Amino acid sequence: MRILLVSDTHGDPRGLAAVLSKLGRSVQMLVHLGDGASDVEAAASSGVPMPPWYAVRGNVDGDWSVPASRILWAYDRKILAVHGHTQLGGNSYRPLVQAAKHEGADACFFGHTHVPFWDLVSGVLLVNPGSLSRPRSRYGPSFAVVEAPPSSMGAYDVKMFELAGSLSRPRFLAIRP
């Protein structure tokens, strides 16, 4: 299963629409990891291809009907999705790992920091796609694509991209945070 991860669009759906214009038909799931979850509907209204999508509420999202966390399934893989503002403390990813393990998940997708990141920590895949509108690292606007095969078929494959070019002619540059 191919999953598109985005986060922290903060009311600016243009980058998301640009990404979906190129990838919307090639992914099976879109996950918005908070702080702009309503931007998915705004991007969809622009006519871009829309896969099934899920969102979690971030610390600046006002729609309390959006859950603070979600369990997602990719085949037989259980994934925890959170914004991360209540789990992240200092420079430690340990609370995210513990939350995933508590749920029986082998991956945790999160946002909040606006910095692209992924790593395998204590057997849990952690992925933060960065921000599509307000990046806080040496990279520009960013997102991730995660290939999640059935567990018997191998490991997750994470690819991180920087959105470059114009919004009408987007280009994706591979990055490794």
Domain extent at residue 109: 2-175
**Beta carbons of 31 and 51 less than 8 angstroms apart:** no
- Residues 84 and 113: beta-carbon distance below 8 Å: yes
Residues 103-123 pLDDT 10s = 999 999 999 999 999 999 999
C-beta of residue 126 within 8 angstroms of C-beta of residue 118: yes
Q: What's the pLDDT at 78?
A: 98
Q: pLDDT tens digits for 36-82?
A: 999 999 999 999 999 999 999 999 998 999 999 999 999 999 999 99
The model's pTM: 0.96
- Which CATH number does the domain housing residue 6 bear? 3.60.21.10
Query: For residues 171 and 26, is the Cβ–Cβ distance under 8 A?
Result: no
Ordered strands of the 116-121 beta sheet:
69-74, 77-82, 107-109, 124-129, 116-121
For the chain, the domain total comes to: 1
